[in-house]
Structure 1
């Protein structure tokens, strides 16, 4: 699966990329802000976006995921250190294929990606 990683914490983004590649996926790009995520999705046309709920410069991962879904019909999996009911409710309009809570393990990512792949 071709994956776009949208994460403003560089170490987390690199960890996600390493794990996704290790799991047999292709990482087509990374972005740190909502606008960069939308542009990258337009350019790279991934199968899936791994996206943090809150991004750099006060931008919103939910808004970016909704815009990517609207433009390209590319689904997302949300990543966050805080995935409470309010966060999930706020993210619901983006129709995510799943959620990953930080800190995550290789197994957490593998499970989320396998589930997403079965839905794409």
Structure 2
């Protein structure tokens, strides 16, 4: 007897068991409600008023006192992009002791062979 044909003919019983009969609620309230963790506890009047107050990586509305929209100005007009004192953009700007160490030939071979070259 072939095991695969025996397995195919067997009835499948799920391992999970549900208690009670399936029931669909007769009425579901789909009206919008504020999120339970909402700071104000109420819904915005419209999407436009929400967007005027919302922030995502900076203000979405006007950028300050009459400066206009951020998207309408070139990036250079927003100011220089220089790190503050004690901040670095790249690891190579740090002192030598924090630089990346070069890979040795043994480490490269170990990675390329999945570690098999270490067990010769």
TM-score (norm 2): 0.17
Q: Which has the higher contact order (CA 8 A, sep 6+)?
A: 1
Q: Which has the higher helix share?
A: 1
TM-score (norm 1): 0.17
Q: Which has the higher strand share?
A: 1
